[in-house]
Amino acid sequence: MEIVEKERGIARVEARVVSDSTVEIATRNVRRLRLLLGPGLLPRGKPLVVRLNGREVFRGEVVEDCGLFARSLAERPDPVMAYSAQIELNVSRAGRQRH
């Protein structure tokens, strides 16, 4: 995850993979974020589903980008932390989670 834009206060993001093709994300004080996906997180043969603050905000196939993988690997020399796809998420459109 990468927080692109936040609101006032401390930004908080929690995410978990709940199945081989679904990611659930909860945020606080975040306006926009970027979901960074490594090859091991991309489902094969089915769509990726992303739920943000309880609402489905993405369902579809994610295309890997070898150039993005190479750049992220150069920034983070750990292949487990490198990513080959990303999805931009607008939290305000998805609705904010209340705490």
Question: Are 43 and 68 within 8 A, CB to CB?
Answer: no
CA distances to 5, 38, 77, 91 from 65, in Å? 24, 10, 17, 24
- Domain hosting 36: range is 2-93
The 10s digit of each residue's pLDDT in 7-43 is 999 999 999 988 878 999 999 999 999 998 887 777 7
Q: Specify the amino acid at residue 93.
A: R
6 domain-assigned: yes
Q: Give the predicted TM-score (pTM) of the model.
A: 0.79
What pLDDT is stored for residue 79 in this prediction?
77
Query: Is a pLDDT exceeding 50 seen at residue 64?
Result: yes
What pLDDT is stored for residue 34 in this prediction?
92
Question: Are 53 and 26 within 8 A, CB to CB?
Answer: yes
99 domain-assigned: no
98 domain-assigned: no
Confidence of residue 94 (pLDDT cuts 50, 70, 90): low
Number of independent structural domains in the chain: 1
Query: Is a pLDDT exceeding 70 seen at residue 95?
Result: no
Farthest CA pair distance, the chain: 40
Residue 92, burial from CB neighbour count under 10 angstroms (0-12, 13-18, 19+): exposed
28 domain-assigned: yes
